[in-house]
Every structure is written in structure tokens, then in C-alpha cells.
Chains A and B, each alone.
Chain A
Amino acid sequence: MRGITKRFPGVCALDSVDFQVRAGEVHALMGENGAGKSTLVKVLTGVHRPDAGALLLAGGRFEPSSPADAQRHGVHAVYQELNLIPTLSVAENLYLGRLPKRWYGADWRAARRRARQRLAEFNLSIDVSEPLGSFPAAIQQMVAVIRAVDANARLLVLDEPTSSLDRRETEILFANVARLKQEGLGIVYITHFLAEVYEVADRITVLRNGRRVGTFLTDELPRIELVAHMLGRSTEEATQLETQRPMKTSADGAGKCVLAAQQLGRRRAIAPFDIRIQEGEVVGFAGLLGAGRTEAARLLFGADRADEGQLAIGGRRVRRHDPRRAVRAGIAFSPEDRKASGIVPDMSIRSNIALVAQRFLSRFGIVSRALQDRVAEEFVERLGIRTPDLDRPVRHLSGGNQQKVILARWLASRPVLVILDEPTRGIDVGAKAEVEALIGELADRGVAVVFISSELEEVLRRANRILVFRDRRIVGELAGRDTDMLALMNAIANPDTQAG
């Protein structure tokens, strides 16, 4: 791929990106959310057409018009959400569209026999006439891979293949990836897990903000450098940053405990962890995407149910935690996916802001419009939400203003603990600064804040202490004077560095 550029209304998702995969190599594609990985894959597989640049396949020009067309040319993608049909049998999923035929139509016996043989070659022995959906994710994934390979794939894209696999399943997948590599396939491997990259990839390309940061040989790229590239900070720069902006000293530790968790955990999401959050402190969650930050935050809020562990809010033990109880206890949660679970897009700004606070604003369920207006106006002004009027549906606002509406919604409910999951993602610089300032303001007023961000600088600047996440567990805590960008990146990158 040469000089690929793709623009969407408002953003340039890819800016002249070069990307090359050789036959028989595993090429990892890395980058944080919004870096352009998925757009690149979509261009490659014919979902999007590039606005500029050219794709070359085995020397020839390659202009896929659709995923089906890309597949005809041997370019296949296996997505995180499986692109197979769970209700159909394994055999059929392997051969749908090219089932063996006899004079009367599909030859099921032959299809099943072939499927069994093919799966056996990959060390899978399962009943191929059972529906695909009844098998574990790992097997479904392998079926998707084998389907691609059997359709003469020359280039295979694996998009986060291990995100729902356990360790043993991951190893089986890696063994099979190695096998495919030997057969001469080119493999693009997308993942957030650093350890995996070093296990399977030959080369690594890092994308950031739609640009290619660089392509490196895996063996020659230290982990810390990789993290630095992904986060957009060179290691030297990181050290300088630290000296410029010393971190806030930690809270005196005598504050009241707002929320405490013991061995709280959820299978396949986050390993059991302990946490104590005091009033007036800002706790940063740092780590790469998919490291377990969001999962931990959701457990604290009750958005997901914990499999194990205990939770106490304001010193009182909570048995069945759910968002309703959390809200009542004064916990606020601004979710990571603003559009999907934050804003109510068609509702007015006023209603979006009053959605949680109406419990205080209404008497016997009767809403005072004047009171709503006053609260909405107050927060529109305080947070600098730019809008001509309060009746405007939130969908028409910019990302930054939408984020502020969500913040306003929670601030209006007078919380004691605010959990902010990536509140600064996808919003402009000015809005970022305002959100950050707000966090400081909250802490000053005694509100506890959990602050999750992929931008380490922000976390360093605002947090009193930082919990570091890697591979779905908390791997360390940084606090006090000795914390700087370098230490933080080390903690995120290396399994062997003990942070203190």
C-alpha cells in the first residue's frame, strides 16, 4: 500500500500511509484507538476506497470494490466480531458459497468429510455438523481462518484475534499462525497486547493519528520504544516533560474512603484487584487500550457484574451492585464510548443534562422546567458548552461539547466519586484543557475522581496516584515524586520492571 489517504467528514483517518507485507511474514499493525488501523484494514479489504494512493498486490495494481472482490483476489480479514454465521454448521461455514455439488445440489456428505479432514490438519477434532455458535470463540476463529485459507488467501488480516481467547487457546492460534506463515501467507496481525506482538510478529508498523510512525523489525525494537511510538512520545522527550510539569503530590491519606474494592474481578475482563479511593483524590488508570482499565471502571460502577470480590461504598458493603445503586450512592460514570452509551443523541441538551439530576429537580415526579433550565444553563456556562440554545438535540454538537454535556449531567447530580473513561478522546485541544481543569476543580472540592486516559501526560498531570494496567490486570501503582513519564512507560511496557 502506498501513500494511502482516506478522509471522512471532519477527519483525515489516514494520511499518506505506506504499508507493506511480505509473503511468509507476520506483520503487526499497532496503534491506539483512532490511530487508523481499522481504516487501513478496511481500505485493504475493499470496504472503503482510498481518496489517494494505490494498493499493489503481488506487483499488480489492486483496486478492491468490495470485501467480496478483495476475497476473490486473495485478501481476507478475520474480524474481532466474527464474520461467520453462528447458526449454521461448522462444515457449512467453511464452504458456504462454494459447497461441493452433485447433480441434485449441495453434497453434504462430501462437505462434512472435507471439513473434518481440514480441521484435523489444524489439530481440531470436532463435530462439523453442529452449529458454529455452540463452539468456543477459539474454534470459531480457527474456522474463520481456515475458511480464508481454503479460499486461496494470500494475505490474511487478523483483527484482535486473541481478545476473547484464554492463554491456552491463544497458544493454539499462534501455532497455527506459524504454520500458515510457513505455507507462504502474508499475515497482518492487529492487537493491543504487547506480549503477543513479540511472540508472533516479524515486523511492526506503528500508526498514530492516521500517520505511519515507522516500520520496525520486532527483534530490534525494545518494548519501551514501541510504547513510546504508540503514545507519540520519544523517550528523551518524556524525561523532559517530567521536569517541566511535576506531578501533584499525593493526597495526605487521611481522607474519608469513598469506595473500596477487595479482590473484585470478572472472568475474561479483569483479574481480581484491590482498590481504595479517598475523597478529594484523583486516581489515574494508565495502560494501553484493552489492558483492563475500562473493565475495572465498569465493575466499580456496576455497569458489569463482578464474578468475585467485594465492594464497599462509603464504608458500607454493597451486595448486588448495579448502575442504579451506584448513582444513588453518588457515583458518576462517563463511559468510553460516548456515542453508544453516553449521550441520548435525539434528546435536547437540557434533558441530557437533567437526566440524572431530575431526582433532585422534580417533586413527586413533576419536573420544574424553570429549575431544569437553570441547572442546564448553569452548567452550559460553567463548562463552556457552545450552543445557541438548550433545545438543540445533542447529536448536532461537536464531540467536545457532547463530552461536556455528559460531564454536566453527572456534575449536576452532585457526585462524591466521578469515573471518567477517556473523557478527552476525540475532542479538540481547547476542550481537553477545559476537561482537565475541571478534574482539578472537582478534586479541590473534595470529590474523588477516577481518570482514565490514553494520553499519559494528562494522567501524570492530574492524578495523585496512578494504577498501571497490563494484560487485564493491575500491575503496579505509581505515586509521589519519583513518578515520571519514563517510569510510567516502563511500567506499562515491561513485565519485569517493578514500579514503586
Chain B
Amino acid sequence: MTIPRRHRPLLVSIGLFAVLYAVAAVRYADEGFLTLRVLLNLVTDNSFLGVLAVGMTFVILSGGIDLSVGAVMSLASVLIGVLVMEQKWPPLLAMSAALALGTGLGAGMGCIIHFVLIPPFIVTLAGMFLARGLGFLIHLESIGINHPQQAELASLGISFGRHGFLPITGIVFLVVVAVGAYVAVFTSFGRCVYALGGNEEAAALMGLPVRRTRIGVYALSGFCASLGGALLTLYLSSGSHIEGIGMELDAIAAVVVGGTLLTGGVGSVFGTLIGVLMIGTILNVITTYEGVLSSGLTRVAIGLLLLLFVLVQRLLSRGAARTE
């Protein structure tokens, strides 16, 4: 059986991840790299990045880009912190409010992109500033969260006995990936996203709801970003301004490394899972196992990975153009 062409970028990703993981497993066999525990930690530690990246996958598939996700994540986490600690809201209610805000911001940006025709990267760059400013407006410092229900929520999870523990943040990440993959493949919204990124004009001519899809994509990304913020409050027990800085770039990198074309129309949510794990592994190896304290090297690594995949995509698309 020949490999369908559309799966080739994804296969490159999976292959590279496998190689990367295998090399790490051999090299750090003594530290027990090849255990379920390490894998579970990988999922958990990158859960908010992963959730952001799933939303970003839809945006990039539709041919756009969302630079605001990191800032929206911070905003959501700070908002939850303030609502819980200062307004005495129950955490779940506060999280719902944050999710509503994030979704609303995303939808607003989608509307501006669609109706006023300003390029997405400008609108979402402004959105990033807006969200960051709003976050500081709500509370100037990061805020610690200390609430019994919050603690209870954070301690939920699936135990694998002595092999490890998957806390709620990791579970939510995997659920979001599963739901995202389902939406992308089996629902008309998902297919519209692909069509929009493939050829917007044709999508409109086919009678597909372009406006609803475009706005929906950014709303979804805003939702995912604020969900990431909610997970962050569980993971860190605080609302933080700092964690989200630069997260948009990691999310974009994860999506691209996962085999989604930046030009839109081609890619998958499953690929993004691979991309997140790949970036997580690199960060893990550099900081934990190699003991390099500089976060700079990780950024260089992510940049190189991004470059590699953009070039591979470029070659693949050139190859495809030539066969026509």
C-alpha cells in the first residue's frame, strides 16, 4: 500500500519523534527515561501548551494565525485567581467565567479579521497586547490561589499505581486532543475549516459557511487558550502573568512540527499531539537530563525544529507542484 500524500508531513513528524524518543531512551536509560512515569509527566507538564496548540491547529488549518493565545492564557489564569481569592467565587464558576471571556475575545478577533479584513497576525498581535493589558488591569501581580475546592480539583487524576499518576491537567489535555481530532475529521465545522484553509474562494462558492467558520475558529482558539489558563491555575496554584509569555510561538511551533502546513488546509490534531510531545521531550532533555539551565538553548532548538519543518513542507509542496 502506498502512503497517501496528505499523510507524509505527519509521518515525518512521527518518525522524527520516534527517533528522538529512542535516542533519549537509550542515552538516559539509567535515569529510567523509558518508563510510563516519564511519558505521563511529559503529557502533564505540557498540558497547557498542548491545549493551546489544539486551538492553534484549527486556526492554522483555516489559513490564519493566532498570536494572542499566550496572553489570553495568562489573562484567564489571573482572572480565575482574582475571582477566587478576592471575589470569593467558587473555582469552577470562576473558570467558566474565564472560558467565556477567552471565547469572547477570540470571537471578537475573528469578527475583526472577517469583517474589516485586517491580516490575522496584526489583529491577534493587537489582541495579545490587549489581553496582556487587561490581565495587568485586573491584577498587577501574579496571584496565588488557595482554595479547598481548587486543591481538591488539582489532586484529581488517574493513578497507575507505582508506574505513575496522570493528574486532571493531563487528562483534560488528552480529552481536548480527542475531541479536537473528532471535530476536525467528522463534523461539518471541522471540514469547513480545512476547506477554508485550502481555498477560501472555492469554499464560499461551494456554499460553505465561511463567516461562521472563520469566527468560530478564533473563538475556539480563545476557548482553548483560556482552558489552558484554567489548567495553569490547577498546575501552579496561581494565576500567572509570566507563564504565557512566548507560549504562542511554542504553540505555533508544536502545530508546524506536528505536520500542519502554515499555509492552511493540510494537517491534523493528532499531529499536533506529536508536535507537543516532541517539543516537550526536547525541553525535558535539555533542562532536566542535560542539566543545561539556560532556557535559551531550548528556544534555539525550537527555532531550528521550526525551520526544519518549514523547509520540509516547502520541499514537499514544491514536489507536489512539479508532479502536476
Which A-chain residue is minimally distant from B261 (CB atoms)?
A87
- On whether A88 and B201 interact (CB within 8 A), knowing A130-B5, A134-B323, the answer reads no
Name the distance in Å between A435's Cβ and chain B's nearest Cβ. Answer: 35
Q: Cβ of B208 and Cβ of A97 under 8 Å apart?
A: yes
Pick the contact of B199 from A86, A97, A130, A137 — CB < 8 Å?
Answer: A86
Q: Which residues of A contact B293 (CB under 8 A)?
A: none
Q: Cβ of B186 and Cβ of A104 under 8 Å apart?
A: yes
Q: Is A83 an interface residue (CB 8 A)?
A: yes
Q: Cβ of B5 and Cβ of A99 under 8 Å apart?
A: no
Q: Is B185 an interface residue (CB 8 A)?
A: yes
Q: Which residues of B contact A133 (CB under 8 A)?
A: 320, 324
Q: Which residues of A contact B199 (CB under 8 A)?
A: 83-87
Q: Which residues of A contact B185 (CB under 8 A)?
A: 105-106, 108
Of B70-78, B109-117, B190-198, B243-251, the one touching chain A: B190-198
Q: Cβ of B197 and Cβ of A67 under 8 Å apart?
A: no
Q: Which residues of B contact A129 (CB under 8 A)?
A: 4
**A-B contacts, 8 listed (Cβ < 8 Å):** A67-B207, A84-B199, A87-B197, A88-B191, A97-B207, A99-B188, A130-B5, A133-B324
Q: Which residues of B contact A96 (CB under 8 A)?
A: 191, 195, 206, 208
Number of B residues, CB within 8 Å of A: 29
Total inter-chain residue pairs, C-beta < 8 Å: 80
Q: Is A82 an interface residue (CB 8 A)?
A: yes
Please report whether the interface of chain B is mostly helix, strand, loop or mixed according to DSSP. Answer: helix
Which B-chain residue is minimally distant from A72 (CB atoms)?
B207
Q: Cβ of A106 and Cβ of B4 under 8 Å apart?
A: no
Q: Cβ of A106 and Cβ of B191 under 8 Å apart?
A: yes
Q: Cβ of A105 and Cβ of B195 under 8 Å apart?
A: no
Which A-chain residue is minimally distant from B201 (CB atoms)?
A83
Q: Cβ of B195 and Cβ of A85 under 8 Å apart?
A: yes
Interface size class of A (residues with CB under 8 A): 20 to 34
Which residues of A pack against B, CB within 8 Å?
67-68, 71-72, 82-89, 92, 96-97, 99, 104-106, 108, 127, 129-131, 133-134, 136-137
Q: Which residues of A contact B186 (CB under 8 A)?
A: 104-106
Q: Cβ of A130 and Cβ of B182 under 8 Å apart?
A: no
Name the distance in Å between A166's Cβ and chain B's nearest Cβ. Answer: 13
Q: Is B159 an interface residue (CB 8 A)?
A: no
Rounded to whole angstroms, the CA-CA distance of A415 and B182 in the bound complex is 63
Which residues of B pack against A, CB within 8 Å?
4-6, 182, 185-188, 191, 194-195, 197-199, 201-208, 261, 264-266, 320, 323-324
Q: Cβ of B182 and Cβ of A105 under 8 Å apart?
A: yes
Name the distance in Å between A139's Cβ and chain B's nearest Cβ. Answer: 11
Q: Cβ of B202 and Cβ of A87 under 8 Å apart?
A: no
Rounded to whole angstroms, the CA-CA distance of A195 and B195 in the bound complex is 36
Q: Cβ of A82 and Cβ of B207 under 8 Å apart?
A: no
Pick the contact of A88 from B187, B195, B205, B320 — CB < 8 Å?
Answer: B195
Pick the contact of B205 from A67, A72, A136 — CB < 8 Å?
Answer: A67
Rounded to whole angstroms, the CA-CA distance of A131 and B321 in the bound complex is 12
Name the distance in Å between A56's Cβ and chain B's nearest Cβ. Answer: 23
Q: Cβ of B265 and Cβ of A85 under 8 Å apart?
A: yes
Q: Cβ of B207 and Cβ of A99 under 8 Å apart?
A: no
B198, B266, B320 interface centre (most CB from chain A within 10 Å): B198
Instruction: Give me 13 other A-B pairs in contact (C-beta within 8 A), A87-B261, A96-B206, A130-B6 excluded.
Output: A83-B202, A83-B205, A84-B202, A85-B194, A86-B265, A87-B199, A88-B194, A88-B195, A97-B188, A105-B182, A131-B266, A133-B324, A134-B320
- On whether A85 and B198 interact (CB within 8 A), knowing A130-B5, A134-B5, the answer reads yes
Q: Which residues of A contact B266 (CB under 8 A)?
A: 87, 131
Which A-chain residue is minimally distant from B202 (CB atoms)?
A83
Which B-chain residue is minimally distant from A129 (CB atoms)?
B4
Q: Which residues of B contact A137 (CB under 8 A)?
A: 324
Rounded to whole angstroms, the CA-CA distance of A103 and B186 in the bound complex is 10
Rounded to whole angstroms, the CA-CA distance of A134 and B3 in the bound complex is 13
B195, B264, B320 interface centre (most CB from chain A within 10 Å): B195
Pick the contact of A83 from B191, B197, B206, B265 — CB < 8 Å?
Answer: B206
Rounded to whole angstroms, the CA-CA distance of A145 and B162 in the bound complex is 61
Q: Cβ of A88 and Cβ of B206 under 8 Å apart?
A: no
Rounded to whole angstroms, the CA-CA distance of A84 and B195 in the bound complex is 9
Q: Which residues of B contact A130 (CB under 8 A)?
A: 4-6
Q: Which residues of A contact B264 (CB under 8 A)?
A: 87
Q: Cβ of A82 and Cβ of B206 under 8 Å apart?
A: no
Q: Which residues of B contact A86 (CB under 8 A)?
A: 198-199, 265
